Amino acid sequence: MSAEATPADPASGNSGRTTDRLLGVLMVFAEAERATAAQVAEITGIPVSTVYRMLDRLSSAGFVQRVGTGPDYGAGPVAVRFAERYRNGALERTSIGPRLERLSHESGELAAFMVPVGTEALCVDAVEGARVLRCCYTRGAVRPLLRGATAEALLAHLPDSRREEVYAAYRLPSERVRALEAAHPLVRERGVAISESALDEGVWGASAPVLDGSGSLSGVVTVMAPAALTERRRPYYVRLVKEAARDLSGGTI
């Protein structure tokens, strides 16, 4: 006698469908820096009212978040931590870690590798120098793309559309935007951005871009040092950070 087929559990089917839809919504943000609920609905084919409910659930869990006060959503803190873990795993398979170790050893200062994530800079890896530096850049830290050598170097090498998104997200006044844009050509020409006390009082920093094989921005290498103790060594630090960025450029990430 053949075994009787077990009826399908309707609740189980609904649960599976909901999970698939949630994953579909998340995949939108794997491809796009930001999107509105209407755009997510158009891409996924999910009714916009359902998309709003799913975005609320994902937002509560930290996977997505509102971008500024507008209608856009972007990656949330949990998604950023996932990205960090992925990048840390990739880091072990590249020359970034050893190159940061070398940069920190040669300079005696803190060396870090930063990448742009949405409207923020994420510290993928950092190596302490001989001096303990009170600095906001530690592994996994995120900071707005607004001030400091790291932000300047990243912004200067991002596409125009990405920079405009950053300016809009932080509601920068037009005067500030013009000042930032005016500085970018010089940063690109010199191959380095320099700042002092921009994020942390008494901290000097230099950041140089790391480009992939196609010439697109992958991230920046940064050296940070106490401003009062290292003024004479700054040209040396600039040379070191540019050499490190040049070594890491060309598809090593």
- CA-wise closest residue to 30 among 18, 44, 48: 44
Domain 80-248 has CATH 3.40.50.1360: no
Per-residue pLDDT of the chain (253 residues; tens, 9 = 90+): 444 443 444 444 466 677 788 888 888 887 777 899 999 999 989 999 999 999 999 988 888 888 877 888 988 877 777 766 665 555 545 678 899 999 999 999 999 999 888 788 888 889 988 777 776 667 778 888 888 999 999 999 999 988 988 898 888 999 999 999 999 999 999 999 999 988 888 899 999 999 987 788 889 999 999 998 888 999 999 999 999 999 998 644 4
Find out whether 43 and 35 touch, Cβ atoms under 8 Å.
yes
Which residue bears the tokens 């200062």?
109
- pTM, entire model: 0.65
First to last CA, the chain: 61
pLDDT for res 89:
57
For domain 12-75, the CATH class is mainly alpha
pLDDT for res 24:
84
DSSP string, the chain: -PPPPPPP-HHHHHHHHHHHHHHHHHHHHHH-SEE-HHHHHHHH---HHHHHHHHHHHHHTTSEEE-TTSS-EEE-HHHHHHHHHHHHHHHTTSSHHHHHHHHHHHHSSEEEEEEEETTEEEEEEEE--SS----S--TT-EEETTSHHHHHHHHHHS-HHHHHHHHHHTT--HHHHHHHHHHHHHHHHHT-EEEESSSSTTEEEEEEEEE-TTS-EEEEEEEEEEGGG-GGGHHHHHHHHHHHHHHHTTT--
Domain with CATH 1.10.10.10 in the chain: 12-75
CA distances from 71 to 31, 43, 163, 227 (A): 18, 16, 18, 41
- Reading the block at residue 211, the tokens are 């480009």
pLDDT for res 196:
93
Residue type, 106: E
Domain with CATH 3.30.450.40 in the chain: 80-248
